[in-house]
């Protein structure tokens, strides 16, 4: 239970291990009551974290988890999104696969995804995008330059510190740009798809979490190290 303990120690707003073997509820184990609802996912599929059972998502179905609006992530000056991912196939144009986040409008969004700018050349490249009060009506985008290959496990973190927007993959900073303002995330949050654009995830996802703070480098490194060797099944 090491990974779960490590993540809970950092006070997530929500933490969905996505280890259910049946039913329609994705349990939020943070204690904050942000349970999600599965739509179309095949439960107890391949492992997104070693030893864990994770749902299989397919963009064509579509499959996703709906958490509704998470008010604690709106209007704050620091936050973190975190997920373990295994992509298994790519989407066609606009070449984007959503991991998790809000995408209501150009003035209300924050998300982790693979692919950006609608370009095939960016297929499989990670991105963390966030709209703040300083950027609206557009999102700031921390764009990674390296492709995350299919059928490989990765730990993906998007962090906003109040002055920097950062994308961190497997503890390595993949992108880091200046950003200020408060988050604009006042709409439905989904795991595995964009609530308004689709762009569904293909593969497995596990231990998806959000924090109303900027996780430290040390905390991210702990989560990564423990996640490589341990997991817990939430059922």
Q: pLDDT digits over 28-40, tens only?
A: 999 999 999 998 8
**Residue 64, domain member (yes or no):** yes
Instruction: Determine, yes or no, domain membership for 189.
Output: yes
Q: Judge whether 7 lies within some domain.
A: yes
Structure tokens at 85: 């991912």
Residue 125 lies in a domain: yes
Q: Percent helix, strand, coil in the chain (nearest 5)?
A: 10, 40, 50
How many domains is the chain built from? Answer: 1
State the average pLDDT for the chain.
89
| 3-state DSSP assignment of residue 225 | helix
Range of the structural domain that residue 121 is part of:
2-229
Give the pLDDT confidence of 44-68 residue by residue, as tens digits. 554 455 445 466 777 666 689 999 9
Whether this prediction's pTM lies above 0.85 is answered by yes
Task: Examine residue 215 and state whether it is found in any structural domain, yes or no.
Answer: yes
Q: Is 234 among the domain residues?
A: no
In a domain, 92, yes or no: yes
CB-facing half-sphere around the CA of 181: CA atoms within 13 A: 19
Does position 173 have pLDDT exceeding 90, yes or no?
A: yes
- Three-state secondary structure call for residue 160: strand
Percent of the chain with pLDDT over 70: 89
- pLDDT at position 23 is 81
Taking a C-beta distance cutoff of 8 angstroms, is the pair 68, 151 a contact? no
CATH number at residue 132: 2.60.120.200
The answer to whether position 235 is within a domain reads: no
Cα–Cα separations (whole angstroms), residue 159 to 83, 150, 213, 215 = 12, 24, 8, 7
pLDDT in tens, 191-235: 999 988 889 999 888 899 999 999 999 999 999 999 887 643 332
Cα-based distances in Å from 110 to 43, 47, 51, 166, 195: 26, 26, 30, 13, 12
Coil, helix or strand at residue 36: strand
């Amino acid at each position: 239970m090491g990974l779960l303990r490590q993540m809970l120690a950092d006070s997530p707003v929500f933490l969905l291990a996505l280890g259910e073997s049946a039913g329609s509820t994705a349990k939020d184990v943070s204690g904050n009551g942000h349970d999600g609802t599965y739509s179309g996912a095949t439960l107890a599929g391949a492992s997104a974290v070693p030893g864990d059972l994770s749902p299989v998502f397919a963009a064509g179905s579509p499959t996703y988890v709906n958490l509704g609006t998470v008010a604690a992530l709106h209007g704050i000056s620091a936050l973190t999104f975190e997920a373990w991912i295994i992509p298994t196939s790519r989407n066609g144009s606009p070449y984007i696969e959503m991991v998790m986040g809000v995408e209501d409008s150009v003035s209300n969004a924050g998300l982790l995804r693979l692919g950006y700018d609608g370009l095939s050349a960016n297929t499989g490249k990670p991105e963390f995008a966030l709209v703040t009060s300083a950027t609206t009506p557009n999102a700031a985008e921390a764009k990674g330059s390296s492709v995350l290959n299919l059928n490989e496990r990765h730990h993906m973190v998007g962090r906003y510190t109040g002055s920097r927007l950062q994308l961190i993959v497997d503890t390595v900073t993949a992108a880091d740009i200046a950003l200020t303002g408060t988050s604009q995330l006042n709409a439905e949050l989904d795991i595995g798809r964009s609530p308004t654009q689709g762009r569904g995830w293909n593969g497995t996802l596990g231990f998806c979490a959000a924090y109303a703070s900027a996780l430290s480098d040390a905390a991210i490194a702990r989560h990564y190290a423990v996640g490589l060797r341990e997991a817990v099944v939430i059922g």
